[in-house]
Amino acid sequence: MDEQPPRRPGELSFAARRRLFLVGAAGLGALLLWGLFGLPDYRDVVPLYGQVINHSAVEERSSTAVVSAVNFDYRGFDTLGEEFILFAAVLVLALLLRRLSEERRDRHEWKARHEHTTSAAVRLTCAALVGPTVLLAVYITAHGHLTPGGGFQGGVIAATALLLVYLGSDYPTMQRLRPLPLVETAKAAGALAFVLLGLAGLIFAGAFLENFLPLGTPGDLVAAGTIPLLSVAVGLEVAGGFVLLLSEFLDQLLVIRRKQEADS
Partner 1 sequence: MIAVQLAALLVVAVGAWATVMARDPVRQAIVVSLYGLALGLLFFAFQAPDVALSNIVIGAVALPTMLMLAIAKTKR
Among 63, 160, 175, 231, binds partner 1 (CB under 8 A): 160
Among 14, 21, 77, 249, binds partner 1 (CB under 8 A): 249
Q: Are 125 and 167 in contact (CB under 8 A)?
A: no
Shortest spacing between CB 149 and partner 1, in angstroms: 5
Shortest spacing between CB 78 and partner 1, in angstroms: 14
Where does this chain touch partner 1 (CB under 8 A) — which range of 18-26, 196-204, 212-220, 247-255?
247-255
Q: Is 242 in the site for partner 1 (CB under 8 A)?
A: yes
Q: Are 227 and 234 in contact (CB under 8 A)?
A: no
Among 62, 79, 153, 211, binds partner 1 (CB under 8 A): 153
Q: How far apart are CA 96 and CA 117, in angstroms?
A: 29
Q: How far apart are CA 133 and CA 157, in angstroms?
A: 7
Closest to 219 measured CA to CA, from 152, 157, 151, 146? 146
Q: Are 118 and 173 in contact (CB under 8 A)?
A: no
Q: How far apart are CA 59 and CA 133, in angstroms?
A: 33
- Residue 126 identity: C
Which residues ranging from 27 to 86 are in contact with partner 1 (CB under 8 A)? 42, 65, 67-68
Site string for partner 1, 187-206 (x = CB under 8 A): --------------------
Contact residues for partner 1, defined by CB under 8 A? 42, 65, 67-68, 140, 148-150, 152-153, 156-157, 159-160, 163, 242, 245-246, 249-250, 252-253
